[in-house]
């Protein structure tokens, strides 16, 4: 893996080359204090092939590379720990993650000495240093000497080889249970889903516009929350379900970002914004993980929203300004077929106070 990914192979092109597994495997994440860095596990290739999805097996066992800017962890910014997807070994802390601009999640150091192993890689006609999980030998990516201080290293990893475990809510500044953090209390309320007039401001946009079969709805509950739920289908080139507001001027100029209080199902959703200039074109999005059946507050600064169009990141576009926001929405596009459920308590704008 390198900045241009010269000679690498598209993960999607390998889907028919191995076995068929219902979905990606994610080994239970292990806390650093619960697993000895010297511990090793061994499995036969037949066992790995039966355990992992075709895409995972291609990358972590056959040393493949996923396409740049397609991995779920590339622009992911939550606080927590990245584990080996095959064995759960803790590999990287989010505090060491940075935006390298290469299209792959990058870190300047592993979480602990001995968690990863490196080997010389002379494939593809170039000299590189391969990074592997020290516990199970899974291929993770490569390390380069062009990273930031304090190490000067860039651990360039495949998202598909990683499993993210969010930090404890109190450690990452989110709110669990029934409380709210101070930013949420002081922010500008945009939606609290208390009146039926708010329901008329939301519309659903699923992959049926492209021939897909996903289904979703946005309904209001008796408890005063909104429920975005349905079934995600991967058939007919589908794979996404979404809801968004009708165009409106939310008057968010001067605010730092958005805060949402949600209770999900453990899946990763996207908060999406559209501006008056791009109502039917590019959108700005930021992904967030949910904890099953647990209320959490997610804060996303406007500067962290990434411009995209039909699943591809756009370059040379300005960062979104809160004053330009005209639509707010939620999307699920995690390539996992099946039912989903995201409950939303409120949406607010917040302003950092120095």
Report pLDDT digits (tens) over 190-236.
999 876 667 778 888 887 767 889 999 998 888 889 999 999 999 88
273 and 302 both lie in a single domain: yes
143: β partners = 129, 155
Report pLDDT digits (tens) over 325-337.
999 999 999 889 9
Q: Which of 257, 295, 325 is CA-nearest to residue 77?
A: 257
181 and 160 both lie in a single domain: no
Say if residue 14's pLDDT is above 60.
no
Report pLDDT digits (tens) over 17-72.
223 333 467 777 777 777 788 888 888 898 898 888 888 999 999 999 999 999 98
Q: Quick one: pLDDT band at residue 255, thresholds 50, 70, 90?
A: very high
- Considering 133, 166, 199, which residue would you say is the last residue of a domain? 166
Mean pLDDT calculated for residue range 165-174:
49
Query: Total domain count for the chain?
Result: 2
Q: Is residue 5 domain-resident?
A: no
Segments forming the whole domain that contains residue 47: 11-166
112 and 190 both lie in a single domain: no
Sign of CA dihedral 138, 143, 148, 149: positive
DSSP sequence for 174-194 = ---TT---HHHHHSEEEE---
Give me the residue label for tokens 């101070």. 182
Q: Which of 50, 86, 68 is CA-nearest to residue 9?
A: 68
- Is 84 labeled as catalytic in the residue annotation? no
DSSP sequence for 258-322 = EEEEEEB-S-EEEEEEEETT-TTS-EEEEEEE--BT-EEEEEEEGGGPEEEETTEEPSS-PPPPG
- Considering 166, 196, 215, which residue would you say is the last residue of a domain? 166
pTM, whole model, 2 decimals?
Answer: 0.51
Say if residue 108's pLDDT is above 80.
yes
- CATH number of the domain encompassing residue 32: 2.170.150.20
Q: What is the mean pLDDT of the chain?
A: 82
Rounded to whole angstroms, how far apart are CA atoms 332 and 316?
26
217 and 159 both lie in a single domain: no
- CATH number of the domain encompassing residue 335: 2.60.120.430
Which comes out higher in pLDDT, residue 24 or 155?
Answer: 155
Rounded to whole angstroms, how far apart are CA atoms 346 and 181?
13
What's the CA dihedral at 73, 323, 184, 263 to 10 degrees? -50
From the candidates 84, 133, 136, 156, give the one annotated as an active-site residue.
156
């Amino acid at each position: 893996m390198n900045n241009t990914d010269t000679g690498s192979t598209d993960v999607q092109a390998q889907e028919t080359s191995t076995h068929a597994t219902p979905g990606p495997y994610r080994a239970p994440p292990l806390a650093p204090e619960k697993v000895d860095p010297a511990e090793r596990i061994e499995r036969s290739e037949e066992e790995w092939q039966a355990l992992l999805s075709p895409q995972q097996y291609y990358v972590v066992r056959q040393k493949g590379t996923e396409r740049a800017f397609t991995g779920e962890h590339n622009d992911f910014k939550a606080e927590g720990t990245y584990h080996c997807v095959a064995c759960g070994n803790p590999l990287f802390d989010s505090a060491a993650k940075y935006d390298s601009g290469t299209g792959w999640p990058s870190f300047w150091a592993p979480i602990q000495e001995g968690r990863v192993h490196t080997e010389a890689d002379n494939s593809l006609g170039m000299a590189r240093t391969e990074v592997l999980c020290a516990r199970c030998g899974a291929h993770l990516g490569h390390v380069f000497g062009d990273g930031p201080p304090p190490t000067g290293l860039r651990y360039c990893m495949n998202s598909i080889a990683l499993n993210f475990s969010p930090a404890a809510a109190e450690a990452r500044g989110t709110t669990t249970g029934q409380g709210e953090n101070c930013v949420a209390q002081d922010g500008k309320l945009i939606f609290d889903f208390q009146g039926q007039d708010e329901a008329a401001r939301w519309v659903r946009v699923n992959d049926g516009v492209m021939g897909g079969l996903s289904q979703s709805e946005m309904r209001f509950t008796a408890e005063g929350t909104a429920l975005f739920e349905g079934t995600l289908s991967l058939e007919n080139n589908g794979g996404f379900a979404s809801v968004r507001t009708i165009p409106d001027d939310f008057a968010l100029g001067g605010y730092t970002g958005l805060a949402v209080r949600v209770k999900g199902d453990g899946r990763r959703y996207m908060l999406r914004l559209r501006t008056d200039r791009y109502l039917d074109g590019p959108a700005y999005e930021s992904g967030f993980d949910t904890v099953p059946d647990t209320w959490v507050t997610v804060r996303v600064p406007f500067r962290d929203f990434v411009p995209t169009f039909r699943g591809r990141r756009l370059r040379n576009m300005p960062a979104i300004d809160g004053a330009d926001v005209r639509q707010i929405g939620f999307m699920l596009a995690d390539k996992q077929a099946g039912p989903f459920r995201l409950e939303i308590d409120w949406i607010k704008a917040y302003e950092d106070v120095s």
